[in-house]
Amino acid sequence: MPPLGHRITVEQGSAHVRVERDGQVLAESRRPLLLHETGLPVRYYLPPEDVRTELLTPSPTRTHCPFKGDASYWSLPGGPEDVAWAYPEPKPEVAGIKDHFCFYDTQVEDAQ
The per-residue pLDDT for range 13-50, each reduced to its tens digit, is 999 999 998 888 999 999 999 999 999 999 999 999 99
Task: Give 8's contacts (C-beta < 8 A, 6+ positions apart).
Answer: 2, 35, 36, 37, 38, 67, 68, 93, 94
Q: With pLDDT > 70 as the criterion, what percentage of the chain qualifies?
A: 94
Using DSSP's 3-state secondary structure scheme, residue 111 falls into coil
C-alpha distances (whole Å) from 69 to each of 64, 72, 79, 100 are 6, 10, 27, 13
Q: Where are the domains of the chain?
A: 8-110
| Superfamily of domain covering 8-110 | Domain of unknown function (DUF427) (2.170.150.40)
9-24 burial code (b ≥16 CB/10 A, e <16): ebeebebbbbbeeeee
The mean pLDDT value of the chain amounts to 91
pLDDT at residue 4 is higher than 90: no
Pairwise CA distance, residues 74 & 41, whole Å: 21
